[in-house]
Chains A and B, each alone.
Chain A
């Protein structure tokens, strides 16, 4: 059977809406991915068609995608977006079908960026960072960097890239028209970039790094310090979100919005008021106790959060090993848990014993606890920080209520 393209696309979108409404009504999910899948089956080109005529920003990287996407949306003063974090093809189709606003900001899974970017013709691509994440199911980080290079070589989007991350730099320098805006927003994570991405000789990716093969940290167009400094501009950058990494995310968001015509001052003011995103960093209540809920699913993410919580006396770390988390928690040994020495860490989740063992070997006071015991056993007058990986973060969101 042959169907005219526009008709087929229309059918695909209609089917998507039907499925999404049904799955929401049946409480089968947030109703984004299932409908997107059906639409893609009816019309594999539906993503390309839905993207046509929009001004699109793609946000990708290992950590901070969801937060940065929300920050770019805010900086633009509102946009079509995949707010639920459904960041593979089906989720993107659903997001585009649901909202017709021209400004469109999409969080894209780092492995999907090479597939999505050529289809949607983005105006800006924001590249945050690359590090190891769930190696038992995702491509190894260097393989991924090579795929990014191929797609960036072909795009005519402006690339807003974190120039402090050697793997991001290696990918972004492949941009053919050199439309790269280098933003030195720092990184606390360098374990995955200790070999030069160009020649694999050892590289010390701290400060302004340079390898004998010529691969070096580029001169930045923007540097994040006390203020966000550009070549001809400077703007104060405040964030309601905690942590240096969120300030870095906000800086990249402001630069990205500026590419679409928003002034720096306006963009900075808008991101300053963004608070918790999809439950992240928000205060939640369980029983009589207030918790601050944070997501980290790999060593780089844990490292960033530990900087934030190191002073706390009691905290909860919750580690699962379901498919979405990665089946192998070996990465716990790459995260700097030794910095929690002095704190009492309540370990929970399906791999609580792995976590407790890892902490024990670094002389951190670790106590294994089942989730149901936490309200009665873990108590403080202050909010207690919870660091949770992917599926256990979702569980925590479910059992707690907003403050």
Chain B
């Protein structure tokens, strides 16, 4: 039984974030693996799950979710015990060192990764295309944050189209999100796994401890179409 837990969907579910749990559980079931999705509310214990999902939200709910997770303290422990964590958009900011909300208030993050988010000059709204190893991660970003990763942190991928975190002070690269061990973060918001079935399978494989075989579906067509639409013909001629 693969256990998937969605953290505080009432606060962090602004942009169809529930879609990620749906994609993961459906892709597991289609392979004969039983999957269970649990919505974790503010007052609930954070369960021991194979995959934990942290979504996006507005400033107020984001702060409230951060305080609740910090008070609870169990998230870091779950990840240390082997859970996979996918944190998107506001969720990605929450797991960092600190972030800044509208009005200039700085909020301490959970410090699972070293990443400082400040407010950029303008909101970044649009398509996001990132090179992750041999693959393309395609999605949509809508955030006001600029995130600087610590020197020891690695981005999830290098941005080809869109803004992502920000230009890295050290290397000058523009990266999106973060990848550290079992933690994945990205600014590609909402149901990012829907447009990137390979990424969903990577998370599932990591959680299960073995490499899943590919699973052909209309989602592969969607992925090709989006990479091509966002990146132009050049991107589509590379492998997916």
Contact = CB atoms under 8 A, between A and B. Distances in A.
A327 interface: yes
Given A354-B222, A356-B218, A333 B10 contact: no
A358 B15 contact: no
Nearest to B123: A136
B218 A368 contact: yes
A333 B22 contact: yes
A368 B219 CA distance: 12
A357 interface: yes
A202 to B, nearest CB: 5
A200 B26 CA distance: 32
B58 A140 contact: yes
A330 B10 contact: no
A137 B191 CA distance: 19
Given A195-B11, A353-B218, A330 B189 contact: yes
A173 interface: no
Contacts of A140: 14, 58
A204 to B, nearest CB: 9
B200 to A, nearest CB: 10
Given A202-B41, A328-B142, A358 B61 contact: no
Interface string A323-350: 0000110111110000000000000000
Interface string A187-208: 0000100110000101000000
Contact of A132 (B14, B60, B221): B14
Contacts of B17: 333
B208 interface: no
B190 A330 contact: yes
Contact of B218 (A132, A191, A331, A366): A366
Contact of A358 (B11, B14, B19): B19
B42 to A, nearest CB: 6
A133 to B, nearest CB: 12
Interface residues of A, number: 29
B10 A202 contact: yes
Nearest to B17: A333
A360 interface: yes
SS of B interface (majority): mixed
A16 to B, nearest CB: 33
A280 interface: no
Contact of A142 (B13, B42, B60, B64): B60
A331 B41 contact: no
Contacts of B15: 135, 328, 330-331
B222 A357 contact: yes
A362 interface: yes
A327 B191 CA distance: 14
B196 to A, nearest CB: 11
Contact of B60 (A200, A327, A333, A361): A200
A242 B221 CA distance: 36
Contacts of A362: 22, 26
B140 A136 contact: yes
A328 B18 CA distance: 16
B34 interface: no
B194 A357 contact: yes
A333 B222 contact: no
B165 interface: no
A171 to B, nearest CB: 17
B49 to A, nearest CB: 20
A77 B22 CA distance: 49
A360 B191 CA distance: 14
Interface string B1-36: 000000000110111111100110010000000000
Nearest to A366: B218
B142 A333 contact: no
Contact of B191 (A135, A142, A333, A368): A333
B237 interface: no
A361 B194 contact: yes
A215 B98 CA distance: 32
Interface in A340-384: 353-354, 356-358, 360-363, 366, 368
A331 B189 CA distance: 11
Contacts of A333: 16-19, 22, 190-191, 194
A341 to B, nearest CB: 13
B195 interface: yes
Contacts of B61: 195, 200
A56 B25 CA distance: 52
Contacts of B112: none
B218 A357 contact: yes
B169 interface: no
B105 to A, nearest CB: 15
Contacts of A331: 15-16
Interface string A260-287: 0000000000000000000000000000
Interface string A137-165: 10010100000000000000000000000
Contact of B16 (A136, A195, A332): A332
Given A354-B222, A358-B194, 4 more contacts: A136-B140, A332-B191, A354-B194, A362-B26
30 contacts: A132-B14, A135-B15, A136-B126, A137-B125, A140-B58, A142-B58, A142-B60, A200-B60, A200-B61, A200-B64, A202-B41, A327-B140, A328-B15, A328-B190, A330-B190, A332-B19, A333-B17, A333-B18, A333-B191, A334-B18, A353-B221, A354-B222, A356-B218, A357-B218, A358-B19, A358-B191, A358-B194, A360-B217, A360-B218, A368-B218
10 nearest interchain CB pairs? A333-B16, A333-B19, A330-B190, A330-B16, A353-B222, A328-B140, A330-B15, A361-B26, A194-B10, A333-B191
